[in-house]
Structure 1
Amino acid sequence: MKSLIIYLLCLQSLTGIAQTFNTDKIKVKWNLKENNYGGSSSFMADFVIINEGKNSFPIQASELYFSYPRKVTEVLSKNATFNNLGGEFCSIQFAENLGLLAPKDSIKVTYLALGKSMNLTDAPSGLYWVNKKSNQSFPVANFIKNYLPNKEKSVLKLSPAKVYAKNKDISLIPAQQLQPILPTPVFYKPASGQFQLTTATVLKFDSSFTNEANEFNAELLQLLGKKLSVNNKVVQSVIHLKKVTGLATEAYQIIVNKDEIVISASFPAGIFYGLQSLKMMMPANSWAKKQKSIAIPCANVNDEPRFGYRSFMLDVARNFQTKQQIFKILDLLALYKINTFHFHFSDDEGWRLEIPGLPELTEIGAKRGHTLDDSDQIHPSYGSGAENNFPGTGFYSKADFIEILKYAKTRHIKVIPEVETPGHARAAIKAMDARYRRFMKLNKPEEAKRYLLTDTLDQSIYTSVQDFNDNVMNIALPSTYTFIEKVVDEIKQMYVDADAPLETIHLGGDEVPQGVWQKSPAIKQFMLNENIKHYDDLWYKYLAKANEILKAKNLYLSGWEEVAMRKTKLDGKPLYIANPDFSIQNFHAYVWNNVWGWGQEDLAYRLANAGYKVILAPVTNFYFDLAYEKDADEPGLYWGSYLDVDKPFYYNPFDHYKTAKEDPLGNPIDTLIFKNKERLTDYGISNIVGLQAQIWSEKIRGPQQLEYMLLPKLLGFAERTWAQTPNWITENNPEKADESYHKDWNAFVNILGQRELKRLDHYAGGFNYRIPTAGATIENGKVLANLQLPGFSIKYTINGTEPNMNSKTYTSPIPSKGIIKLKVFNTNGRSGRTVEVENP
């Protein structure tokens, strides 16, 4: 009886707390107070918790959880404790003496953190409360971010005058003078007249081009409301897909006459790309509604790509994207002739592909929510919060993946799957830990250990770049290789089921931290058995074993740059060199690290010169998750560069020193950093496989943000990877090269603004591409404005209101005094951010 009374009293106490634990009226404000605090390399910020309700809130019985990309070093207010729980997962525990937070009262938690906080992406995200008594979680209902303190506006806001200066050489080109195909073809010659595409047009094709013809006809159904009849005998209005000999795999020719269009190719890929070019020759608004007739200008076109490997990588592990969004991205890639989709579906924060026989990979590894032990799900990351919601949670079933592979194949896109090993593997590790526990409970220890990725006795201490201490597979365990082989076998079978090509699997291989494995009994025994003297040499043993797994299945190994590098020392200092062990093993190394000023600017060239097959994936020009510009209101990371559409456009693959313009902070680059850097040899050039752009999704939540970061950057990348070497790259006279570049750049942005982005307003359902901010400056007492994309318009107000489509259109300098607000609009009425200029 006594025990029952105590239980009931505890239950009553718990119920009383639960009744007062109402977070609906608890507002949380986050304020960036000051960068470079006290002249240090830290910043000061605070959380303010405000009780706007009528009842007291038990702050001492609560914890605040959130994602945060900065490391807190000190709580100045001494009223709370910060905890880093792995990756960006953090919590605040409040001092017990705080008691209850009375109505209308507030608490301020002030702290210091390392580095700087420069834009909205640096703010905390995914906030939720947890009741310490019940362990229930509650999302923060009202969160306000002040990431732009008044005293730092001049530092954290991009000056409209700087944008104006950047746009000063851009001018409007008459639409009829713009060649209509992007990427730029090898040869384009306009002719007089037009071909009228209607439902009466006949589609004629060689039988080897049946798939391409059917795909094109399906799209014409959307455009015209009816498919074309096929292979009928007619004398006019024909689109003929003609098979010829002698052209390269992806090469094509187009002849458009008034009565006939002939697209010639030797291979289906060439016909497919010819059809993409033909679609571009259609008016940009052709996809806006059903058309009765589509006018296509008469012309002759000869074309083929500069690089055979043109790739885009999408990370769906950090934040998920739906199958339908993947289809949409594949449609976009196909239109701009990008032929490879690098599918990054596994990482520390998520495993997104169903693997038959290993259900925990998606039951545990694909689900994120509040947890402190990862036993039934992975803890929140990147703002995913306490609930199991998209985009933190999600995966592709086997059927989904096969459907994606078929969809890609139809569009001549190869899909390269990436299985992150041995680092960046936390989601897989936690999933296999759960599998281990499941079979141990069933008293099946051998089965429990079959796919285990960790040494249960390992006491190694390490911290990864992303601040994890439990994200690396143990490469001494046979079960690790059993796991890799199982995953590879299941993925390969999906490709067989989809009848899709598979030549390689990307095994990651990046960012394995120092200290890993050094206190693992399994590693110790492995080193004795294999006569391995140094911990660094474990890496090469792992690569050799992984390579053998893939080679046995007729696949070659792809990985990030570390798979081609060896650790050594020079004058007692650590040094990375090209690893001679695997240079003839057909390893494909994806090289991202060329950040200007970090010392590895020549890494890709050194590896290619040493014999490795290299895919150029430079952070400075092809990391599309980086912010467009240096502005606190512009989303995106910025650790490696600021990255607008011009960066991929002007990249020079074979001599990227020559076209480097800005350092990571957006300042003019000091070219002395390239002194004594290795140049790419002719032999090295033969080892450059191609180019790859990528989007890492740490800060990308949902399709709208993905499309914003992707476009229009992808179009600059498409131009550089397909179009032939431009004159400004080969021209040795700096003045002539600069003149040639500005001419090409002006034509490119005119094509984007007047045509391609208008097409993308409707193509594949329409894309949320970024609309740039207006440039503005003051001269002779008047406000002058310009924009990056001719064909868009600038609207402005002089009365303090936000510009809209009904506001005045900028056509000439503005004489008005005071605050002038300007905003760029596309033809559909969607806009970019507002900028302000004060005319004194």
Structure 2
Amino acid sequence: MHISKMNKTVLALTIAASLSLLGCEKSPAPAVDTGEKINLQAIYSVSQGDIDKIAQHLQVNYRVVTNIPSDKCDREVADGACFEVELTFTAQQAIAAKDWTIHFSQIAPIQSFESDDFSVKHLNGDLHQISLKDNFSGFAAGESKSLLFRAQFWSLAESDVMPNYIVSAPGLEARVIASTKPFIDTDSGLEMLPHVASFTDIERQFKRSAADKTQWLTPEKLYQRNAVLTEDQLGVVQAIIPTPKSVSIDANRGYANISQGVAVSLGNVNHADVDAALSRLSTLGVKQSTTGLPLRLSIIKDDDKVIGSYSLTVTEKAITIVGVDGNGVFNGLQSLASLVTVGESRIPMLVIDDEPHYVFRGMLVDVARNFHSKEFILTLLEQMAAYKLNKLHLHLGDDEGWRLEIPSLPELTDIGAKRCFDVTEEHCLMPQLGAGIDENSSVNGYYSVSDYQEILQAASARHIQVIPSLDMPGHSRAAIKAMTARYKKYQALEDEAKAKQFLLEDFEDTTKYASVQFYADNTINACLESSYDFVIEVMTQVKKIHADAGQPLTRYHIGADETAGAWLDSPACIDFVANNDKGVTKMSELGAYFIERVAGILSELDIETAGWSDGMEHTNVDNMPAIVQVNAWDTLFWGGHDKVHQLANRDWQVVISSPDVLYFDFPHEADPKEHGYYWASRHTNTEKVFQFMPDNLPVHAEFWLDREDNTYVADDTKTPLAAGQKFLGIQGQLWSENVRTDDMVEHKIFPRLLALAERAWHLADWAVPYNYQGAKYSSQSNTFTTKMQALRDSQWSLFANTLGQKEFAKLELAQVDYRLPTVGAIVQAGKLHANIAFPGLTIEYQVNGENWLIYQDPIAVSGQVSIRSRSTNGLRTSRITQVK
């Protein structure tokens, strides 16, 4: 077959670009030297004007048809779980051009499709491509064309759908289709996706399966749930979050006057240990003044008490805080701040003796999938400290982004920190997760060394340890592509040694695999010495960055995620397994070998190792350091307590990270308009976090349900905890795959963070102690007694009141966009009755689209009634719902 010189060139370019886009490029794309300039626009029928016109005028509509699998679903994949989507394109103006394609993110890979005009295929990760069929005849003005496709798993929330569909053609500038761009609702601050059709069918769209008993949370159901709450103004005044271990209220219920502020006496306390807490008091209206109520601070060491313990005494004449260390005094000041009601000039007189239940009280924020600003992190640190959380797990590296400057490896951030539209991925990563084409978008970015050191210093001032994580060996695509670009750069300079110095992939590896996020090229090769040289280089520099900022790097989270099936056809690994002296005898042992070796590298750098349970469990304890932190993230309803107990029984430091309750990327409530993934829970509201008993994981089978709201059994007789074994602590998680703005991060984290702090700091008197003999728990067992439940629910009522009447105002002063709850409501005998999960917030209603009015008492209504809540400062509203 004869191929012209130009066609050869186009073919070579297309193949190279396609291989890179598909994640199949295992060696640098071949250089093409034809001696002539190629005009791609002359080859294709589409012009830049056509691309711009399509982007501006093509209306996209994404509608979930059903989550019920049909006979067209692949029964061999995802246990047959499969949903169907109708993707409709409508041209506002005629479109005659051909040879253009659309790239879009679709979390679950498409299995099959039907369309007269379009073809669709999965490329890599969540990236898909829609191409025009040969018989595509263009769009007439106003004409609609559709693509019906099926994808694995389910689509149960509107936020599953990704924005920023990209129209492109070779040789032209790509454009984002305007109708798929997200926008921010001005009232609620929530991100809206204009191309997503609302759910209307409970059985076909809302349910996961025929066995799914999840109830759509309507205002009517919410009204019944909220009905148990009553306002408790007296209790709120005295309440402190998190609850202290011991509180004695003044017998006369007296109050101390702080209208003139406080006169601080530091005693033997270093100013740096308490400055941030004193500054927060000032923002709440409690200024420092020589005429104010005396505030006496001191440290009295007590080796029998936990780090951070303190006592607080408030009398009419003075406030006294005594800590076992500077952290303790800081915590006492935060309890004092908790007593403050914004706008009030008095606090109750009382005596507190307090200490934390857990040493590790953490929050993870994923800034890798979508970047979140330094300013947000600084705000988060302030609020973590306010509620006595002390560990920030900062997830800085993953498939979709590398977010920390490493000065000696600029490619990590020059390329790995941004997504745009570059099929070669030599300038940026491809736009996974609906990132669009703008490399300056807020979803892109990184922390410079100075940015990161500012974060570290702010954390240190608040007694918070930053635990960085740059995930490996899986979840490492951003690093791999960056180091491959580095390889190409130095190869072009004919410096092969430097090119291969930190290479993370074997170009001859032909292994076909797919990660959980459907990447085919995201796993660092465990058999290359350059992979470990990369780890040493990165960790040496991260350690120096920490040291220079005054917060030594003492613990690092390696992730320890691995990808099943990787490396099987890598010549480097085949040779390594056949000839190594490391004790690795088969491919399946490479993942554990990588983790053990990286843990050894960290030990040599005097850094403790942390990692996720699924990767860490495969390691040989004898090959691991003496101190190992493991984050246990197995779901409780699938027997996750077994693995947690196994890891704890290794004498490892277990941090409970159960997704059933501690994944804050999950929806607050069961409603398709509630934002978030839901693979372990459709509704993880603040009350559920408050209910958590982390010391006793299996007992939750008595009153919690599985992800389809069915009961389950937890059998703890197989692997009970060894006698006296305890957990190090708990950690909330915010993964960011579909969280694109700082405001949305706050909407997801708050107010759940306050309940997380309550459970991390305070051991509830209604909590069921762990049974070291092992036991079986179900909805039929009664270990969690009716009396315990009543006590828990009473304390929750006070907690909810405290949020609504006292703490939300403080969050607003810090400009935190916490989630405002939707409103519970019914229309009964022609009157609207409404209530709210956090008494104290304003309820508003609207009848037949007229003006919004403040709800106070039941009121007569007729017609279409809408309801919403409003923030204490009046600046934001909740999502609007309708009363049936």
TM-score (norm 2): 0.85
Corresponding position: 1:617 with 2:657: yes
- What is the match of residue 429 of structure 2? 378
Deviates more, 1:194-203 or 1:701-710: 194-203
The separation in 2 between residues aligned to 1:622 and 1:721, in whole angstroms, is: 11
Q: 1:778 to 1:38 in 2, by over 3 A?
A: farther
- Which sections of structure 1, spanning at least 5 residues, go unmatched? 287-293, 567-577
Is the 8 Å Cα contact of residues 728 and 738 (structure 1) preserved in structure 2?
no
Alignment partner, residue 747 of structure 1: 798
* Paired residue type of 1:708: H
The change in CA–CA distance for 1:161 and 1:692 in structure 2 (over 3 A counts) is same
Q: Tell me the distance in 2 between the aligned counterparts of 1:200 and 1:417.
A: 39
The answer as to 2:95 corresponding to 1:43 is no
The 5 A counterparts of 1:376-455 are 376-455=427-506
SS in 1 for 2:296: strand
2:127 match = 89
Preserved CA contact (<8 Å) 1:194 1:258: yes
Q: Which moved more, 1:736-745 or 1:138-147?
A: 138-147
Could you tell me how far apart the structure 2 residues matched to 1:582 and 1:652 are?
33
Distance 1:790 1:225 in 2: 25
Tell me what 2:605 maps to.
553
Query: Any residues of structure 2 matched to 1:58-207 within 5 Å, and which?
Result: 58=97, 60-130=98-168, 132-143=169-180, 144-152=194-202, 156=206, 157-176=216-235, 178-191=237-250, 192-197=253-258, 201-207=262-268
Q: Is the 8 A contact 2:67 2:204 kept in 1?
A: no
Deviation sequence 1:534-564 (CA, Å, 0-9, x none): 2122223222211221111111211111343
Q: Which runs of 5+ in 2 are unaligned?
A: 1-5, 7-35, 74-80, 181-193, 207-215, 770-781
Decide whether aligned partners of structure 1 residues 460 and 609 sit closer, same or farther in structure 2, where only a CA change above 3 A counts. same
Map of 1:836 onto structure 2: 882
Q: 1:189-588, aligned counterparts within 5 Å?
A: 189-191=248-250, 192-197=253-258, 201-219=262-280, 222=283, 227-228=288-289, 237-246=293-302, 247-285=305-343, 294-510=345-561, 512-527=562-577, 528-530=579-581, 531-566=583-618, 579-582=620-623, 585-588=626-629
For 1:421 and 1:380, the matched residues in 2 are separated by: 21
Match of 2:840 in 1: 791
- Residue by residue over 1:236-279, the C-alpha shift from the partner in whole angstroms, topping out at 9 and shown as x without a partner, is 73111122232542011111122321111121000111111111
C-alpha deviation, 1:216, in angstroms: 4.0
Structure-to-structure mapping, 1:768-783, within 5 angstroms = 768-777=817-826
Contact 1:638 1:664 in 2 (8 A): no
C-alpha distance in 1, partners of 2:793/2:556?
Answer: 40
How far apart, in 2, do the equivalents of 1:369 and 1:460 lie? 27
Take 1:69 and 1:299, find their aligned partners in 2: how far apart are those partners? 53
Equivalent residue number for residue 849 of structure 2: 801
Q: Does 1:702 align with 2:735?
A: no
Higher mean alpha-carbon deviation, 44-53 vs 169-178, is at: 169-178
CA contact under 8 A between 1:317 and 1:346: conserved in structure 2?
yes
Shift of 1:734: 1.4
Deviation digits for residues 111-139 of structure 1, max 9, x if unmatched? 22223221111223221211x24232111
SS at match of 1:382: helix
Question: Aligned runs of 1:759-770 on 2, under 5 Å?
Answer: 759-762=810-813, 764=814, 766-770=815-819
The Cα shift of 1:372 comes to 2.0
- 2:786 is matched with 735
Query: Which residue, 669, 677, 680 being the options, matches 2:711?
Result: 669
Say whether residues 1:822 and 2:854 are aligned partners: no
- Is residue 119–residue 632 contact of structure 1 (8 Å, CA) maintained in 2? yes
Indicate the percent of aligned positions where both proteins have the same amino acid: 28
Amino acid at match of 2:105: S
Q: CA 1:732/1:119 → structure 2, altered by over 3 Å: closer, same or farther?
A: closer
Q: Deviations over 1:133-157 (max 9, x none)?
A: 4232111112343433434489634
Which residue number corresponds to residue 589 of structure 1? Answer: 630
C-alpha distance after superposition, 1:221-246 (max 9, x if no partner): 555697546xxxx8x73111122232
> Is this contact kept in 2: 1:564–1:587, CA < 8 A?
no
Q: Where does residue 570 of structure 1 map in the other structure? A: none
Contact 2:237-2:348 at 8 Å conserved across structures: no
Q: Could you tell me which amino acid in structure 2 is paired with residue 516 of structure 1?
A: A
1:569: which partner in 2?
Answer: none
Structure 1 counterpart of 2:873, one-letter code: N
SS in 2 for 1:684: coil
Contact 1:33–1:149 (Cα < 8 Å) also in 2: no
C-alpha change, 1:8 and 1:336, in structure 2 (3 Å) is closer
Q: What CA distance in whole angstroms lies between the structure 2 residues aligned with 1:612 and 1:326?
A: 29
Please give the alpha-carbon distance, in whole angstroms, between the structure 1 residues aligned to 2:477 and 2:293: 59
SS in 2 for 1:446: helix
Asked whether the 8 Å contact 1:32–1:117 carries over to 2, the reply is yes
SS at match of 1:680: coil
Q: Report deviation, 1:674.
A: 3.4
1:7-61 C-alpha deviation (Å, 9 max, x unpaired): 89986787973333323222222222233154764322222222213x5341x22
For 2:633 and 2:39, locate their aligned partners in 1 and report how far apart those are by CA, in whole Å.
61
Q: 1:225 to 1:629 in 2, by over 3 A?
A: closer
Q: Distance in 1 between matches of 2:161 and 2:624?
A: 43
Residue in 2 aligned with 1:573? none
Task: Provide the C-alpha distance between the structure 1 equivalents of 2:387 and 2:280, rounded to a whole number of angstroms.
Answer: 16
* Residues 96/386 of structure 1: CA separation in 2 closer, same or farther (3 Å cut): farther
**SS of 2:809 mapped into structure 1:** helix
Q: TM-score, normalised by structure 1?
A: 0.90
In the alignment, the residues of structure 1 paired with residue 718 and residue 342 of structure 2 have an alpha-carbon distance, to the nearest angstrom, of 45
**Residue identity in the other structure for 2:387:** Y
In the alignment, the residues of structure 1 paired with residue 39 and residue 508 of structure 2 have an alpha-carbon distance, to the nearest angstrom, of 42
Q: Is the 8 A contact 1:73 1:114 kept in 2?
A: yes
Secondary structure of the residue aligned to 2:65 is strand
Bigger mean CA offset, 106-115 vs 435-444: 106-115
Change (3 A) 1:794 1:223: closer
Preserved CA contact (<8 Å) 2:162 2:738: no
Distance in 2 between residues matched to 1:834 and 1:118, nearest whole Å = 19
Distance 1:397 1:696 in 2: 22
What residue identity is the alignment partner of 1:242?
S
Q: Which amino acid aligns with 2:300?
A: V
Given the alignment, which residue of 638, 654, 660 partners 2:695?
654
- Counterpart amino acid of 2:707? L
State the Cα distance separating 1:164 from its structure 2 match.
Answer: 2.7
After superposition, the C-alpha distances for 1:479-500 in whole angstroms (9 at most, x for unaligned) are: 1111001111001001110111
Structure 2 CA distance for partners of 1:174 and 1:585, relative to 1, 3 Å: same
CA contact (8 A) 1:380 1:392 kept: no
Amino acid at match of 1:272: F
SS of the counterpart of 1:367? coil
Classify 1:377/1:783 alpha carbon distance in 2 versus 1 (closer, same or farther; 3 Å): same
Number of aligned positions between the proteins: 798
Distance 2:298 2:361 in 1: 25
